[in-house]
């Protein structure tokens, strides 16, 4: 097969660049990613959250891809029909802005070239650049079924959009009306509440005098937006505010325009804000709009779509909104109507896409009446049919669903799903249809035109779990793969997207779109700061892949993470993940060297049973590592079943590096050097099991190593062509009949580690052997004497315990002996003249004093509210980390002093 795994000898070092592209081409061309419907198999479905067609890979994409791919590969290895369906989103505003900028650079605009030419140009852009994100997913090792890839503007999803619109319209759940919307003057379109970022900004509070119409005085109102007074239609006071009891029924004259407006009473007015008198501008403030509806006030719009003022603004028509603010304040000051100006911090809405300040504007738009849909969507979560991970987001979801407002779904754009509504020119009739109509459905006139607006991108995205599987057609994929298993996405779009998928999935399918929602956190830098180009702390994932390898990037992004919590990524974390991949590579090189080359004459008889059927059980070291392999597999499956992906990776890392590589392999070397061949089968078994367990998280290096290992081992049972098609190890939580070996080897490790720590702390050279006496019950440690000697660099070694002590006796140790009390044994280690004990006591005493002084300073700083309240969060967190590290170091110094008898 082309691009098949390499059959060359395993190189000395791992170079991801020679492995990743070759393996991915082989995987994809072999059809390993394709999901087949099989009634005998349980389906497992993930629909990829569609990245914007304008997008390029960022760390958030990379982290989510790593999680989704790990889940897909895991369930594929469990024998399920695992479908990870990829797709991209047309990204209405984002894509239109990109193409518009290109046109401006050419000296033209979309208005000049017209809608048809603009759409043609946008499709050309998508065809040229739209595959970039797909290829970047390939670089990440995404094992999605590319044969099923969907684009939100494909014919299938487009029909789903029109079908949904018509069904909701026919039910009275979609309507057109004049409402106050969030208007972005940069994008020239309405946007939803969820597309507005609110930022606290330093501004001004202007106190303006509104003269009473009867000439008896004036009333002062406070506002942050004086330019909007041109659209005022009332001034409101709280009915309980006695300061204004004498003004009921009176009218005031608007500054600048001189228009008379009534003084009204409304309980929503906060008597303690400003002067307690509130200017009411129904055309430019959502709260004022509601007040205006309660009191029947007229709505005056003073603004054009581009942010300039219109003819309703009188002498300020044509002014930019912010220039008008400055000019109006100057006029008020000249006319003695500006009482004072105070600094004021307030929340200002900005468009997520353009960052322009949002302008509340009354406009005729299309809306979805969401309350009936939201009730079912809320019940789906509270009844447990959908599980949100982590559970704390259920409260956030519930609060939003219980306070939901109608959804503005129309956008004043050209790129996107055009609203399927046609207007009859002669009579104004509306025709809502799935297919383009030839005539008005009410009067038959063929003089009709389609609505100019397009639908909010989130409308089509909300149909994603079922439209990608063929709905509204009754396809076999839809019947088999829906509802999907899990939707993994960032927690910051829980409302943007998740809630809408639940609402529309229940509406169209009468079934939840997914059984679990897995909410991932954001990726931050090493200090917990959000990454941004302005801060210069962005890590480019493609650069990271080229520097460290894909597996290292994936592992660094996800290991140790928990759902819903942000994760930190640093160069050191990437280096650690790369080191782990290299460690795995070196482990295999050792195992292959231990297995040796096959002997055609002698055969591989002593490797028979390596896959577990006939593993050696006589030695406690073998029983220990086999048991730990089984228990690790069981624990990893348990964690993955509970969506604890990052913890599963941590458990695997600690097992492979901390137990298999650092301990079993080192113990096996002692036996192999002595001529014992049993460890060979156990090494093969544990390595092969480890590769399969790690494969969902580190797909490239595990595939390459698995292929080389399997090429050397005798075939036992069915052998799939790729590790991704091999069964995932299930393990046994109780181990595999280790006969106490786990506890015995743990005691051995304790002894060796304790002696090594002393050697390291006192900088004793490796060539210098130390004498030791180990006191422990039973004979297990005495049986492992040679391992202790070699691994801990011990010379003369004696044991005391249940039986008679071996020579030399404890009395032969010098006065420079240290006593190490461990959970399973006590070690008396003779330092002899290798260490000046008195000098070490003095040194450690000084270190302890310096550490205490340092920690006292850190503790005082972190206890100072002036510091913790004002310093940047990353600085405070860094000081807390230093306190934690310093405390651990001080505890270790005190332990060493105790061992030296100080």
How far is 507 from 509, CA to CA, in rounded Å? Answer: 6
The larger pLDDT score, comparing residue 154 to residue 866, is at 154
- State the helix-helix crossing angle for 873-899 and 837-862, rounded to 10 degrees: 150
**pLDDT tier for residue 604 given thresholds of 50, 70 and 90:** low
Q: Are the beta carbons of 807 and 798 closer than 8 angstroms? A: yes
The CA-atom distances, in angstroms, between 407 and each of 168, 287, 361, 377, 519 are 13, 17, 15, 15, 23
E runs forming strands in 153-227: 174-184, 189-191, 196-211, 218-223
Q: Is the pLDDT of residue 585 over 80?
A: yes
User: How open is the CA angle 53-56-57, to the nearest 5 degrees?
Assistant: 125
Q: Are the beta carbons of 273 and 222 closer than 8 angstroms? A: yes
Q: Is the pLDDT of residue 861 over 90?
A: no
Question: At 579, phi and psi to the nearest 5?
Answer: -60, -35
Predicted confidence at residue 5, as pLDDT, reads 67
Q: Is 24 exposed, middle or buried (0-12, 13-18, 19+ CB in 10 A)?
A: buried
How far is 559 from 674, CA to CA, in rounded Å? Answer: 38
Region 576-604: what's the mean pLDDT? 85
User: How open is the CA angle 54-58-64, to the nearest 5 degrees?
Assistant: 105
Q: Is the pLDDT of residue 490 over 80?
A: yes
Highest-pLDDT range among 455-464, 610-619, 794-803: 455-464
Q: Are the beta carbons of 468 and 504 closer than 8 angstroms? A: no
Residues sharing a CB contact under 8 Å with residue 529, sequence separation 6 or more, in sequence order: 535, 537, 872, 873, 874
Q: What is the Cβ-side half-sphere exposure of residue 416, based on CA atoms within 13 angstroms?
A: 29
What does the block give as tokens for 442? 């009410």
pLDDT digits (tens, 9 = 90+) for 182-202: 888 888 888 877 678 888 888
Chain-centroid distance, C-alpha 823: 41
How far is 780 from 850, CA to CA, in rounded Å? Answer: 42
Residues sharing a CB contact under 8 Å with residue 533, sequence separation 6 or more, in sequence order: none
Predicted confidence at residue 810, as pLDDT, reads 38
Predicted confidence at residue 536, as pLDDT, reads 74
Q: Using omega within 30 degrees of 0 as the cis cutoff, is the peptide bond preceding 597 cis?
A: no
**pLDDT tier for residue 804 given thresholds of 50, 70 and 90:** very low
How far is 702 from 764, CA to CA, in rounded Å? Answer: 38
The CA-atom distances, in angstroms, between 759 and each of 34, 547, 750, 763, 892 are 55, 36, 14, 6, 14
Residue 109, SS3 per DSSP: coil
Out of 327-336, 636-645, 878-887, pick the least confident. Answer: 878-887
Q: Is the pLDDT of residue 1 over 70?
A: no
Predicted confidence at residue 4, as pLDDT, reads 63
Predicted confidence at residue 355, as pLDDT, reads 85
Q: What is the Cβ-side half-sphere exposure of residue 451, based on CA atoms within 13 angstroms?
A: 24
How far is 146 from 34, CA to CA, in rounded Å? Answer: 8
3-state secondary structure 674-725: CCCCHHHHHHHHHHHHHHHHHCCCCHHHHHHHHHHHHHHCCCCCCCCCCHHH
Segments in 462-525 forming alpha helices (H): 464-467, 476-481, 499-509
Segments in 318-456 forming alpha helices (H): 321-334, 371-382, 393-402
How far is 773 from 814, CA to CA, in rounded Å? Answer: 12
Segments in 713-819 forming alpha helices (H): 741-761, 780-783, 785-792
Phi-psi region of 413 (alpha: psi -120 to 50; beta: other; left: phi over 0): beta
- Going across the sheet that includes 359-368, the strands are 189-191, 174-184, 359-368, 407-408
E runs forming strands in 59-158: 81-85, 87-88, 150-151
Region 549-564: what's the mean pLDDT? 94
Question: 723: which strand partners?
Answer: none
**pLDDT tier for residue 708 given thresholds of 50, 70 and 90:** very high
Q: Are the beta carbons of 155 and 41 closer than 8 angstroms? A: no
- State the helix-helix crossing angle for 571-595 and 699-712, rounded to 10 degrees: 0
3-state secondary structure 291-337: HHHHHCCCCCCCECCCCEECHHHHHHCCCEHHHHHHHHHHHHHHCCC
Q: Is the pLDDT of residue 475 over 90?
A: yes
Region 336-342: what's the mean pLDDT? 92
Q: Is 618 exposed, middle or buried (0-12, 13-18, 19+ CB in 10 A)?
A: exposed
Give the chain's mean pLDDT: 89
Highest-pLDDT range among 7-21, 235-249, 642-656, 763-777: 642-656
How far is 33 from 812, CA to CA, in rounded Å? Answer: 67
Chain-centroid distance, C-alpha 430: 44
User: Helix count (H) and strand count (E) of the chain?
Assistant: 29, 29
Predicted confidence at residue 131, as pLDDT, reads 85
Chain-centroid distance, C-alpha 744: 41
How far is 770 from 758, CA to CA, in rounded Å? Answer: 11
How far is 75 from 451, CA to CA, in rounded Å? Answer: 45
The whole model's pTM is what?
0.83
- Percent of the chain scoring above 70 in pLDDT: 94
Predicted confidence at residue 533, as pLDDT, reads 62
Closest CA to 83 of 101, 69, 93, 66: 69
Predicted confidence at residue 760, as pLDDT, reads 87
Predicted confidence at residue 511, as pLDDT, reads 97
Predicted confidence at residue 180, as pLDDT, reads 84
Q: Is the pLDDT of residue 282 over 60?
A: yes
Q: Is the pLDDT of residue 808 over 50?
A: no
Q: Is the pLDDT of residue 735 over 60?
A: no
The larger pLDDT score, comparing residue 734 to residue 22, is at 22
Whole-angstrom Cα Rg for the chain: 36
Predicted confidence at residue 902, as pLDDT, reads 60
- Percent of the chain scoring above 90 in pLDDT: 60
Q: Are the beta carbons of 188 and 353 closer than 8 angstroms? A: no
pLDDT digits (tens, 9 = 90+) for 809-827: 333 445 678 888 888 888 9
* Strand pairing report for 81-85 and 43-47: parallel
Q: What is the Cβ-side half-sphere exposure of residue 614, based on CA atoms within 13 angstroms?
A: 6
- Going across the sheet that includes 338-351, the strands are 218-223, 196-211, 338-351
Region 477-487: what's the mean pLDDT? 97
The larger pLDDT score, comparing residue 368 to residue 874, is at 368
Region 371-397: what's the mean pLDDT? 95
Predicted confidence at residue 537, as pLDDT, reads 79
Residue 494, SS3 per DSSP: helix
Q: Are the beta carbons of 800 and 773 closer than 8 angstroms? A: yes
């Amino acid at each position: 097969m082309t691009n098949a795994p390499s059959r060359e000898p395993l190189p000395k070092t791992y170079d991801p660049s020679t492995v990743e592209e070759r393996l991915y081409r082989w995987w994809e061309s072999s059809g390993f990613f394709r999901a087949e419907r099989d009634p005998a198999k349980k389906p497992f479905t993930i629909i990829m959250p569609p990245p914007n067609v304008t997008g390029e890979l960022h760390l958030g994409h990379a982290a989510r891809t790593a999680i989704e791919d790990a889940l897909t590969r895991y369930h594929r290895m469990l024998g399920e029909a695992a479908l990870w369906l990829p797709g991209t989103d047309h990204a209405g505003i984002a894509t239109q802005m990109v193409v518009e900028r290109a046109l401006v650079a050419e000296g033209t605009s979309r208005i000049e070239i017209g809608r048809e030419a603009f759409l043609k140009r946008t499709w050309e852009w998508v065809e040229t650049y739209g595959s970039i994100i797909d290829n970047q997913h390939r670089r990440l090792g995404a094992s999605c079924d590319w044969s099923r890839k969907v684009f939100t503007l494909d014919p299938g999803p487009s029909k789903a959009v029109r079908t949904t619109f018509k069904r909701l319209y026919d039910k009275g759940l979609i309507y057109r009306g004049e409402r106050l919307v969030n208007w972005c003057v940069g994008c020239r379109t309405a946007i939803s509440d969820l597309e507005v970022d609110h930022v606290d900004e330093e501004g001004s509070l202007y106190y303006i005098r509104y003269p009473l119409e009867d000439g008896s005085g004036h009333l002062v109102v406070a506002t942050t937006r004086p330019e909007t007074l041109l659209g005022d239609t009332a001034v409101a006071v709280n009915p309980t505010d006695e300061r204004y009891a004498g003004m009921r029924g009176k009218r005031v004259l608007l500054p600048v325009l001189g228009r008379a407006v009534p003084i009204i009473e409304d309980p929503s007015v906060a008597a303690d804000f400003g002067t307690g008198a509130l200017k009411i501008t129904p055309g430019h403030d959502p709260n004022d709009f509601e007040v205006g509806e309660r009191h029947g006030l007229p709505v005056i719009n003073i603004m054009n779509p581009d942010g300039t003022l219109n003819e309703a603004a009188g002498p300020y028509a044509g002014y930019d909104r912010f220039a008008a603010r400055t000019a109006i304040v100057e006029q008020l000051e000249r006319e003695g109507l500006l009482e004072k100006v105070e600094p004021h911090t307030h929340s200002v809405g900005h468009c997520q896409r353009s960052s322009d300040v949002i302008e509340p504007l009354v406009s005729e738009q299309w809306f979805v009446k969401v309350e009936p849909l939201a009730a079912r969507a809320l019940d789906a979560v509270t009844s447990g049919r959908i599980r949100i991970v982590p559970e704390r987001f259920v409260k956030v979801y519930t609060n939003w669903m219980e306070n939901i407002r109608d959804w503005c779904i129309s956008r004043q754009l050209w790129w996107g799903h055009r609203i399927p509504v046609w207007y009859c020119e002669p009579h104004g009739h509306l025709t809502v249809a799935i297919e383009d109509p030839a005539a008005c459905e009410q009067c038959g006139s063929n003089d009709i035109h389609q609505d100019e607006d397009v639908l909010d991108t989130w409308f089509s995205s909300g149909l994603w779990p079922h439209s990608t599987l063929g709905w509204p057609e009754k396809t076999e994929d839809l019947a088999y793969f829906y509802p999907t298993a899990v939707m993994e996405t960032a927690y910051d779009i829980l409302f943007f997207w998740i809630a809408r998928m639940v609402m529309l999935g229940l509406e169209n399918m009468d079934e939840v779109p997914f059984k679990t929602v897995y909410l991932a956190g954001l990726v931050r830098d090493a200090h917990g700061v959000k990454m941004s180009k302005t801060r210069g702390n962005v890590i480019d994932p493609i650069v990271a892949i080229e520097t460290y390898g894909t597996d290292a990037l994936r592992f660094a992004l996800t290991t140790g993470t928990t759902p819903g919590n942000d994760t930190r990524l640093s160069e050191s974390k990437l280096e650690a993940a790369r080191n782990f991949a290299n460690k795995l590579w070196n482990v295999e090189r050792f195992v292959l060297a231990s297995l040796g080359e096959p002997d055609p004459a002698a055969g591989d008889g002593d490797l028979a049973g390596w896959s577990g059927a006939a593993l050696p059980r006589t030695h406690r070291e073998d029983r220990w590592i086999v048991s730990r392999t089984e228990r690790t597999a069981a624990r990893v499956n348990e964690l993955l079943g509970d969506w604890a992906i990052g913890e599963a990776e941590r458990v695997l890392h600690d097992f492979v590096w901390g137990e298999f590589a650092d301990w079993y392999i080192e113990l096996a070397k002692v036996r192999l050097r002595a001529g014992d061949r049993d460890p060979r089968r156990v090494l093969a078994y544990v390595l092969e099991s480890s590769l399969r367990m790690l494969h969902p998280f580190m797909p490239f290096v595990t595939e390459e190593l698995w292929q080389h290992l399997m090429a050397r081992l005798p075939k036992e049972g069915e052998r799939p062509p790729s590790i991704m098609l091999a069964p995932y190890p299930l393990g046994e939580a109780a181990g595999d009949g280790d006969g106490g070996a786990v506890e015995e080897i743990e005691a051995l490790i304790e002894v060796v580690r304790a002696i090594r720590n002393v050697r390291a702390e006192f900088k004793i050279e490796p060539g210098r052997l130390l004498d030791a006496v180990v006191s422990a019950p039973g004979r297990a440690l005495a049986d492992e004497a040679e391992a202790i000697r070699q691994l801990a660099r011990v010379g003369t070694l004696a044991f005391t315990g249940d039986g008679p002590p071996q020579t030399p006796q404890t009395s032969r140790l010098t006065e420079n002996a240290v006593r190490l009390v461990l959970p399973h044994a006590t070690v008396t280690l003779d330092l002899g003249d290798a260490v000046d004990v008195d000098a070490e006591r003095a040194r450690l005493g000084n270190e302890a004093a310096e550490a205490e002084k340092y920690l006292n300073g850190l503790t005082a700083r972190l206890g100072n509210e002036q510091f913790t309240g004002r310093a940047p969060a990353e600085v405070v967190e860094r000081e807390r980390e230093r306190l934690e590290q310093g405390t651990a170091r001080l505890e270790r110094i005190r332990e060493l002093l105790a061992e030296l008898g100080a």
